[in-house]
Structure 1
Amino acid sequence: MKKILLALALCLGGLYYGQAQNQRTRIVKISRTTSGNTSQPLQSYFDQNLAPFYHGVASGDPLSDRVILWTRITPDNHGSIQVVWQIATDPQMQNVVNSGTLTTDETKDYTVKVDAIGLQPATTYYYHFSALGKNSLVGRTRTAPTTNVNNLRFAVVSCSNYQSGYFNAYGNIAERNDIDAVIHLGDYIYEYATGEFGYSDELGRGHQPNNEIITLQDYRIRYSYYRLDPKLRRLHQQLPFVTVWDDHEFANDAFKNGAENHQSNEGSWDKRKSNAFKAYFEWMPVRTNTLATNRIYRKISYGNLVDLIMLDTRIEGRDEQAGGGLFRKSTAKKLEARARELARSRTTEQDKLTTLLREFMPYMVNISHNNERNDKALTKSEFEFVIATLVKWVKARKENAEIKTTPEFAKLRGLLLKAQKDNPNQQARTAAERSMLGKTQLAWLKQQLSSSQAQWKLLGNQVMFFPFNGIDIKDTWDGYQDERGEIIDYVMDRNINNVVVLTGDIHTTFAADVPTSQWRYALFGNRYSAMVEFVTPSVTSSNFDEFVDLGIIGDFANFVASGLLDALNPHLKERNLNDHGYMVIDVNSSRVQADWYYMNDIKTNNNRQRYGQGWYVRNNQRYLRKARGAAPNRNLYGASAPTTPLNRRITSNNEPALLVVGNYPNPAKVATNVHYAIAQDSKVQILIYNEQGKLIKQVMNVSQEAGLYNVTFGVNDLKNGYYIYKVISNGHEVSRRLLIQK
């Protein structure tokens, strides 16, 4: 892992240093930028008119008679806060059907979560909260149906790295009036430090806290920062969510006993995992399991039409994934350097591509050195045929010509399938004792599939289920093939129809049949398919063209990768390796259709999108067909949720002009950071008091422009114990607790 020091992270694009009163204090003004290098308005991050409900409202896990309602209070001072909630059938909150009072405090990070019961099925509701004399935004939600259901629609999303781009997909979904619920398949947040995965100076959307998140306070602040994003806040306000985590809510490539991005010098994995669990259940509108607190796999029924079966393929039972990957990093860098060298040469594009393929393909396939035919390697003449056909395929793809049905393409597929290289850890990856779900969850899944009375069984699954030949990805179900085979056999042996897998994680669009046997499927087609799978693209996280850089010559990376995937995966019907967006799943009694929508741009804040393509599976069939267009729209909801709280003016000079997000690390040893925003130009003070209320230290007293700030100051001069720090601006004070623990 590459951890970036705080000082370095703060030097990255979009940061301006001010003056402080001692050498150990550093003030940083954070200006988020677009690709045009123009500052975004402060209101994008801190809407003072929402105080103290800056993070908006949310709902989730809708059942036929109840739904989870969520908000978060940002108080000025510590202490228990009483919160009133109401749920009604109208956005003006006149026809209230249920209400209640509860309390929150710092042990819950001032989050509020209530299971509103006594509701009617298939009904749109509106809700809000009141605390500290103020109202929250009004949210909109919808309960699940119980009886005959004609149609359902779900928006499916995953992989929303704040550093990689704007959440334009969230903004577009929020404006749709046809969605029953948003299914988020994980990677809702990312754990990396500012400047690491996905960050660019051009965009300047860094993380808070700046460091990689490890402590409970770290995870809480990261969720808080994401939830201040106006498009995510608006989407939560408008539609209920059904969520599961993937790895980045914990750390990259997590499993039950560790993670690739967790090192021994970062403390106990169990402690870090516990921190991530607690922050997730505090900040997400998900129902807590009463039998197992941190268990997230569950079923949500939508009448007789859909059982939505949400799996945990990451933390609950996953054994450590074995090694995999197409290249070592040194090999990838060598190929990249070679590709760039070729790109600068004066040869033709065809010659460049041919040369690069000759150097690239030996990493993919076995080649016979003595030119003798065998069933696991290419002869020299077969290798030349593969190179020539791939070059021809790239040209045909650019001209939108279809060659997949030609004899040449069939021969290419056969040669690549026989000669593809096995990963040295392949046997370990498919060992029978290696589990993705764990015994308890696997047994639960089988029971849900066999007992379901719904016509369609939708599996909310984090990582790719269908076999993926050509690129060895250790983190998918390919690393747990025996357990995948057990699930497929269970479905086929019991003749369970209408199973549809919904997947995120991989930052690409895929539509695929899931074969019972890859060889039989390649020979005899979709009669050997068990179910189908739809994979949603990332909201912002890096795609193939942004993440895998092998030195692109023209469209080499895209076209050749697509060609190899087509050749090696006859069950793969659709792939888009480059576009960000979301997927809409439309369900009726005759078919399930997936439609993909892509953002024109995620590097600027905009609402431009386009329709990509659609695929569907018919009732009691197990294979995909191409759709002619998007499924017809419908008007599910009445009024949208209001953009401002009830009984509140849009602007007011009396509103608090100061938001303190928090401080990290807390406990602090050497230094800590205070992250805050001011809505007006003012003098800002940060003062430290001991528990007896005595002023111990003045951290800063400077005039600042309106904006978002991070202040770093040393604590070596403070003894161990609890302190109170105050941030003061324009006569408004916010107090927080600080623990010094050296």
Structure 2
Amino acid sequence: MGGAGALGASSLALLAAGGLPAHAGASRYFRHGVASGDPLPEAVILWTRVTPTDEATPGSGRGPVVDVAWQVARDAAFSNVVAHGTVRTGPDADHTVKVDVGGLAPDSSYHYRFVLDGDASAVGRTRTAPAATASVDALRFGVVSCSNWEAGYFSAYRHLAARDDLFGVIHLGDYIYEYGTGDFDAGGDVIRRNEPAHEILSLADYRMRHALYKTDPDLQAVHARHPFMIVWDDHEVANNAWSGGAGNHDEVTEGPYANRLAASRKAYFEWMPVRVGPGGTIHRRLRFGRLAELTLLDLRGYRSKQASGGAVDDPSRTITGDAQMSWLKSGLSASADETSWRLIGNSVMISPVALGSVPAYLLGPLGRLLGLPAGGMAVNSDQWDGYTADRQELLGHLHGGRIENTVFLTGDIHTSWANDVPLTAATYPVSPSVATEMVVPSVTSDNIDDILGVPARTLTLIAEGAVRLTNRHVRWSELDSHGYGVIDVTDERVRMSYHALSDRTRPDATSSLMASFAVGDGTQRLTRLS
């Protein structure tokens, strides 16, 4: 599994001789933690970043080429090693290390580590997915999105890292933010400053920003504890990104968008534990026995530019692109015969939202989160509301094909929602619900009370009531809290528990349960649990 170079060979010799501790603590070379992701029945991605010399800082383009050893074991003491090898890395990959380890046993837990010149990384824990035909009783995942470094601490990650009952963590995008210091709302305060301080544009910039995030101890902890299943949204490149540009990109002052996109994508693939498809594709499927299939969508790379008014209904406009839509529909049809549940990692909300009853003073901040145009048009133009033909095609496919038990897992809007997904919203509940949607809050990024600068659970209660009044398929929304979700999957139901943090600006923030909703097998409708 990989040839050993000079440093790699010495590291492997030490490993074979048992000459390294199971957990080496602080490391000279491994300063950005370890991570794993995209578990398959016989394979998983392992990741780290090595700093072989002090000059080899992220984005610097400096430092030597080195061979980094990796090792996978059944136990934390590494007495039962099942796979090992070396990976060569250097400035061309920003000294990141990524290996797709195969030949593993299905539905199994493993420990892994990396070694350079006798120095070991922290030990990570990962696991493989059950075999495709295996009977699986239950699955549990953490679900997160929208972690703005400057807005607070990543306590949501700390609470997920402390759990030993999760299969893994689903991250729905906005893992990093591209803004310069103070340029993106953080409740009026910058809790901790970005590096670099300016808005990121170049490859070096994106590498440095990714590196900054991976110095966070809570982020390192959750990556070391659980495999991640990640999809990007817009801020991994720039706000309101589409296939040919972004709302937060000015080609006159910032150069060609294609250059920025290429830089951001290269850094993302270097720094994230994701399995990349042909041509740099990231939409993919992960199967968990006969219980569930997780489909992760790319809703930025192929979409048409955002529009407003009647243009949102133009059938030539797309959010998925034709090829991804065909792939999505065929996969859902196949999965209906093979798994109990279809989970869709969906970076922007698919449920329609009308805001006509929201008071004007609340419409502005709510619209900022929901992607409304500056003119206040009550349509969610950055989300599926802005691409109604694609939404109708997908929902029509679910309805026409009698594909039940589809659950959209969504991030992006920094707030919590529990929605039935109606085939025709205007006539719901007379018209059927064809899926359900569970939208998780942000880890730190601003929501309504932050934008308004008011205490939580005050003015937002009015907005929540107005949303429900106009949108009968919205079973619940909570527009104030930061936190995370935990989703439980059994043959009988899928349940989402929404957890709120006490204070995003405190590194010791506590967590409490806000609400739980479940969808029963074959129902396509959510029920609130006591």
Instruction: Identify the TM-score tier after normalising by the shorter chain.
Output: 0.7 to 0.9
Aligned to 1:579: 481
Query: Does the 8 Å CA contact 1:503/1:535 hold for their aligned counterparts?
Result: yes
SS of residue matched to 1:159: coil
1:530 aligns with 2:434: yes
Q: Tell me by how many angstroms 1:70 deviates.
A: 0.4
Q: Deviations over 1:508-533 (max 9, x none)?
A: 000000011123215x3xx6111100
Aligned to 2:374: none
How far apart, CA to CA, are the structure 1 residues paired with 2:454 and 2:502?
21
How far apart, CA to CA, are the structure 2 residues paired with 1:590 and 1:581?
26
Aligned residues: 472
How far apart, CA to CA, are the structure 1 residues paired with 2:130 and 2:457?
47
How far apart, CA to CA, are the structure 2 residues paired with 1:102 and 1:601?
41
Task: State which of 292, 295, 299 in structure 1 corresponds to 2:281.
Answer: 295
Q: Deviations over 1:640-679 (max 9, x none)?
A: xxxxxxxxxxxxxxxxxxxxxxxxxxxxxxxxxxxxxxxx
How far apart, CA to CA, are the structure 1 residues paired with 2:191 and 2:325?
43
* Aligned residue type for 1:104: T
Aligned to 1:145: 130
SS of residue matched to 1:592: strand
How far apart, CA to CA, are the structure 2 residues paired with 1:221 and 1:200?
24
How far apart, CA to CA, are the structure 2 residues paired with 1:511 and 1:225?
33
SS of residue matched to 1:50: coil
Unaligned runs of 5+ in 1: 1-46, 323-424, 629-742
1:193 aligns with 2:180: yes
Q: Tell me by how many angstroms 1:557 deviates.
A: 3.0
How far apart, CA to CA, are the structure 1 residues paired with 2:509 and 2:110?
26
CA RMSD of aligned residues (A): 1.6
Task: State which of 202, 206, 224 in structure 2 corresponds to 1:219.
Answer: 206
1:58 aligns with 2:44: no
1:431 aligns with 2:319: no
| Structure with max Cα Rg | 1
Query: Does the 8 Å CA contact 2:41/2:106 hold for their aligned counterparts?
Result: yes
Counterparts of 1:508-587 in structure 2, within 5 Å, are 508-522=415-429, 524=430, 528-547=432-451, 549=452, 557-587=459-489
How far apart, CA to CA, are the structure 1 residues paired with 2:224 and 2:424?
44
Query: Does the 8 Å CA contact 2:174/2:233 hold for their aligned counterparts?
Result: yes
Counterparts of 1:439-458 in structure 2, within 5 Å, are 439-452=322-335, 453-458=338-343
Q: Deviations over 1:200-226 (max 9, x none)?
A: 675530100000000000000000000
SS of residue matched to 1:275: helix
Q: Deviations over 1:249-308 (max 9, x none)?
A: 00000001000000021011001000000000000000121x22x210000000000110
How far apart, CA to CA, are the structure 1 residues paired with 2:114 and 2:175?
24
How far apart, CA to CA, are the structure 2 residues paired with 1:159 and 1:435?
24
Given the superposition, is the C-alpha separation of residues 194 and 80 from structure 1 closer, same or farther in structure 2, using an over 3 Å criterion?
Answer: same
Unaligned runs of 5+ in 2: 1-23, 56-62, 356-377
* Aligned residue type for 2:79: Q
TM-score, normalisation: structure 2: 0.87
* Aligned residue type for 2:273: P
Identity among equivalent pairs (%): 43
Query: Does the 8 Å CA contact 2:186/2:450 hold for their aligned counterparts?
Result: no
Q: Tell me by how many angstroms 1:199 deviates.
A: 4.1
Query: Does the 8 Å CA contact 1:582/1:598 hold for their aligned counterparts?
Result: yes
SS of residue matched to 1:49: coil
Q: Deviations over 1:111-157 (max 9, x none)?
A: 00001111111111000010132011110001101100000011110
SS of residue matched to 2:196: coil
SS of residue matched to 1:468: coil
Given the superposition, is the C-alpha separation of residues 191 and 48 from structure 1 closer, same or farther in structure 2, using an over 3 Å criterion?
Answer: farther
Aligned to 2:361: none
Counterparts of 1:66-81 in structure 2, within 5 Å, are 66-76=43-53, 78-81=63-66
Aligned to 1:321: 306
Q: Tell me by how many angstroms 1:435 deviates.
A: 0.2
Given the superposition, is the C-alpha separation of residues 432 and 617 from structure 1 closer, same or farther in structure 2, using an over 3 Å criterion?
Answer: same
1:256 aligns with 2:266: no
Query: Does the 8 Å CA contact 2:187/2:450 hold for their aligned counterparts?
Result: no
Task: State which of 605, 610, 617 in structure 1 corresponds to 2:519.
Answer: 617
* Aligned residue type for 1:455: S
Query: Does the 8 Å CA contact 2:172/2:347 hold for their aligned counterparts?
Result: yes
Q: Tell me by how many angstroms 1:626 deviates.
A: 1.1
* Aligned residue type for 1:275: A
Q: Deviations over 1:190-245 (max 9, x none)?
A: 00001111346755301000000000000000000000000001111110000011
Given the superposition, is the C-alpha separation of residues 564 and 277 from structure 1 closer, same or farther in structure 2, using an over 3 Å criterion?
Answer: same
Query: Does the 8 Å CA contact 1:161/1:198 hold for their aligned counterparts?
Result: no
Given the superposition, is the C-alpha separation of residues 509 and 553 from structure 1 closer, same or farther in structure 2, using an over 3 Å criterion?
Answer: closer
Task: State which of 478, 484, 497 in structure 2 corresponds to 1:595.
Answer: 497
Query: Does the 8 Å CA contact 1:545/1:578 hold for their aligned counterparts?
Result: yes
